[in-house]
Chains A and B, each alone.
Chain A
Amino acid sequence: MSDPADIGLWGVPLAMLGGAIRVSTPFLFVSLGECLTERSGRMNLGLEGTLIFGAMAGYAAAYHSGSAWFGVLAAGFAGMWFGLFHGWVCRFKGVNDIAMGIALMLLGMGLAFFFGKPYIQPVAPDLPAISLGWWSDIPQVEAALRVNVLFIIGAVLALAMAWMFRATRIGLKVRVVGDSTAAARAIGFNPDLVRLWSTAAGGALAGVGGAYLSLYYPGSWNEGISSGQGLMAIALVIFARWNPINCFWAALLFGGAGALGPALQSVGVSSGYYLFFAAPYILTLILLIATSSPDRALKGAPSELSITK
């Protein structure tokens, strides 16, 4: 590696680009998972817990097997069981999916902390990264453009999910069930089953997002690893209007905004850093206000969703 160049203020946009790529992946996976679940007409607020459990399970599995990819699989598998559990409980009459989601979030965190105790110390293998900055001789650019494979999979998945909703039979099924349970029954679909598997798939995606946290960036398991990213990702789905492609852009935006605080301090804008750390939240507020309007506040929202009913 050559010596770092003096990049001065360029550090800020570069850090935001790098941050967007590094930090956005868990946002992306959780929001895609939640997008799928909500399009089928169900909320799963428990994805924060699933994310944390996935981070722990992925780290533990990678540590024992020596393979980071096995860890990703284990995290997805664990997340799927959380989703199945949520889906199974929520099909009963009178169960409120929001309350159940909060319970599931606390359960996921509690279980992860309990089983995760022995894995805080050990060092598990990391997921590999692809260097897309080979064309640059500036080490900072190279570092910013080290892209993890999961980020690319997430981006492809966003496109695939958008295509699925638009052009496939499964996508149509999920949309119909999400928009009207009665209509779905009338044409012979089983809404419970569709929701069950949408919730399970959503959970699996959130679990994989967790594996990214513990196996790549920041790359170790500890109890404060998520710091609320799962919850922000759920809010991001509403902001993205239940559109997978928008989820991708929103995840990038949140990741980049999170990098703003440290980057500004590193170039000497150091007073009021608490304010800059609030940047992602302020940004969300501004964007929500700017894009809101009384007529189309819930445009794109599945009508069977408990918040729209």
Chain B
Amino acid sequence: MAMSDLTVGFIYVGAKDDFGYNQAHAEGAAAVKALSGVKVIEEENVPETVDVQNTMESMINFDGATLLFPTSFGYFNPHILEIAPKHEDIRFQHCGGLWSADQHPGNVGSYFGYIGMGQYLNGVAAGHASKSKKIGFVAAKPIPQVLLNINAFLLGARSVDPTITCQVIFTGEWSLAVKEAEATNALADQGCDVITCHVDGPKVVMETAAGRDAFVCGYHANQSPLAPEKYLTGAEWNWAEVYTSMIKTVQSGGAVDNFVRGGLQDGFIKMSPLGPAVSDTARNQFEATKAEIMKGGFKVISGPMKDNKGNMIASAGESFAEDDIALESMDYLVEGVLGSTS
């Protein structure tokens, strides 16, 4: 294949400058654009419905895209799985899906980063900043990656003080500005003094929480400009590096693995610089934990540990490291998280 032939399509579920999930991917796409021999096409605000199938079809048939990055979680099943078998020469790279060789087509790949470890580090900063010993989490949907983020946030905080609890509120959708603001207010009303989130655009949560005098930890991208005094740190994606290396592999005729994962040490994720409210003690523990995670294979869940309904999830001596595939089908909230998955 000639190098100039590579057309890459990026599909986003929301606006690509949302201070969040989609912006993180769009920054990755922008880095791809800067490479030579690549043409990038993008479409934003594509719902996780049959709409995304139409978008994929039109990128393939009209724009000649041979490599697609449909970035939203809900695009995978059934939409990509429906389209992929019809286009065996097209590569579909999906963010976050749990690809497995015996169930899914070979032209579909999945990539993701261990951003839960970033939420663990958020939790360390939060654990030091919280006076009320209650921290809060505004979550969109109870899917495994969100649940891991919530659990990791609490476990990070509990590594500072084991009495801390984390209240979670699910909004039910990836982007619902008014509900996210109401959820943030409800958390503040219950005394949560550090708040983070997993929604597509964290802007509303950050601004509302800071307005209620709570500290905030960012997610997806760096939101410190929104609340400079209250921003502790944040777990950010680093897709520019990931996408650039994937495109270079394809251009040089190589094959991208069907299942790509990476963490802090692989440059898949990064942390926002620590904010002015972070104390020296907090900074030391943050840096020490970060160094530990940078070694790879960080054991985020280590037994004995129960979920918040009292079921054993890890017995004494048992543990789940960041790259343990079992974490990607997580369906529980750990003890200390106040909330329920359904």
A48 and B25 CA atoms in complex are apart in Å by: 30
Check A15 against B208 for contact (C-beta < 8 Å). no
A3 and B189 CA atoms in complex are apart in Å by: 11
- What residues on B are CB-neighbors of A98 within 8 Å? none
Nearest-neighbour CB distance to chain A for B168, whole angstroms, equals: 8
**Interface of B toward A, CB cutoff 8 Å:** 14-15, 17-19, 45, 131-132, 167-172, 175-183, 185-191, 193, 201, 203-204, 207-208, 212-213, 225-226, 338-340, 342
A213 and B204 CA atoms in complex are apart in Å by: 11
Nearest-neighbour CB distance to chain B for A127, whole angstroms, equals: 13
* Chain B residue nearest in CB terms to A15: B186
A19 interfacial contact with B, CB 8 Å: yes
Check A123 against B187 for contact (C-beta < 8 Å). no
A117 interfacial contact with B, CB 8 Å: yes
Check A220 against B203 for contact (C-beta < 8 Å). yes
- What residues on A are CB-neighbors of B190 within 8 Å? 4, 7, 11, 266-267
A3 and B213 CA atoms in complex are apart in Å by: 10
A140 and B212 CA atoms in complex are apart in Å by: 9
Given the known interface contacts A271-B340, A272-B342, the answer about A218 and B189 at a Cβ–Cβ threshold of 8 Å is no
Nearest-neighbour CB distance to chain A for B45, whole angstroms, equals: 6
Selected A-B contacts with CB under 8 Å, 16 pairs:
A4-B189, A4-B190, A14-B189, A15-B182, A15-B185, A15-B186, A117-B17, A120-B15, A217-B178, A222-B15, A222-B201, A223-B15, A259-B182, A262-B182, A266-B169, A271-B342
Given the known interface contacts A11-B186, A224-B14, the answer about A270 and B207 at a Cβ–Cβ threshold of 8 Å is no
Nearest-neighbour CB distance to chain A for B297, whole angstroms, equals: 33
- The total number of A-B Cβ pairs within 8 Å is 134
Check A222 against B45 for contact (C-beta < 8 Å). no
- What residues on B are CB-neighbors of A259 within 8 Å? 182, 186
Given the known interface contacts A3-B132, A277-B172, the answer about A263 and B177 at a Cβ–Cβ threshold of 8 Å is no
Check B340 against A270 for contact (C-beta < 8 Å). yes
- What residues on B are CB-neighbors of A220 within 8 Å? 177, 203-204, 207
- What residues on A are CB-neighbors of B207 within 8 Å? 218-220
Given the known interface contacts A219-B204, A224-B177, A261-B179, the answer about A266 and B17 at a Cβ–Cβ threshold of 8 Å is no
Nearest-neighbour CB distance to chain B for A124, whole angstroms, equals: 11
A229 interfacial contact with B, CB 8 Å: yes
Interface centre among A22, A117, A222 (most CB of B within 10 A): A222
Nearest-neighbour CB distance to chain B for A259, whole angstroms, equals: 5
Report A242-298 residues with CB < 8 Å from chain B CB. Answer: 258-259, 261-263, 265-268, 270-274, 277
A22 and B177 CA atoms in complex are apart in Å by: 13
Check B185 against A4 for contact (C-beta < 8 Å). no
- What residues on A are CB-neighbors of B131 within 8 Å? 3
Nearest-neighbour CB distance to chain A for B184, whole angstroms, equals: 8
B178 is contacted by which of A1, A258, A272, A273 (Cβ under 8 Å)? A258
Nearest-neighbour CB distance to chain A for B336, whole angstroms, equals: 14
Convert A95-118 into 0s and 1s, putting 1 for each residue whose CB lies closer than 8 angstroms to a CB of B: 000000000000000000100010
A23 and B178 CA atoms in complex are apart in Å by: 8
A268 is contacted by which of B177, B185, B338 (Cβ under 8 Å)? B338
Nearest-neighbour CB distance to chain B for A192, whole angstroms, equals: 37
Check B208 against A218 for contact (C-beta < 8 Å). yes
B187 is contacted by which of A22, A217, A266 (Cβ under 8 Å)? A266
Given the known interface contacts A222-B15, A222-B203, A268-B338, the answer about A4 and B177 at a Cβ–Cβ threshold of 8 Å is no
A18 interfacial contact with B, CB 8 Å: yes
Check A6 against B186 for contact (C-beta < 8 Å). no
Nearest-neighbour CB distance to chain B for A143, whole angstroms, equals: 6
Given the known interface contacts A265-B169, A266-B167, the answer about A218 and B180 at a Cβ–Cβ threshold of 8 Å is yes
A121 interfacial contact with B, CB 8 Å: yes
- What residues on B are CB-neighbors of A270 within 8 Å? 338-340
Given the known interface contacts A4-B132, A19-B182, A258-B182, the answer about A222 and B175 at a Cβ–Cβ threshold of 8 Å is yes
A227 interfacial contact with B, CB 8 Å: yes
Check A140 against B178 for contact (C-beta < 8 Å). no
- What residues on B are CB-neighbors of A120 within 8 Å? 15, 17-19
Nearest-neighbour CB distance to chain B for A298, whole angstroms, equals: 31
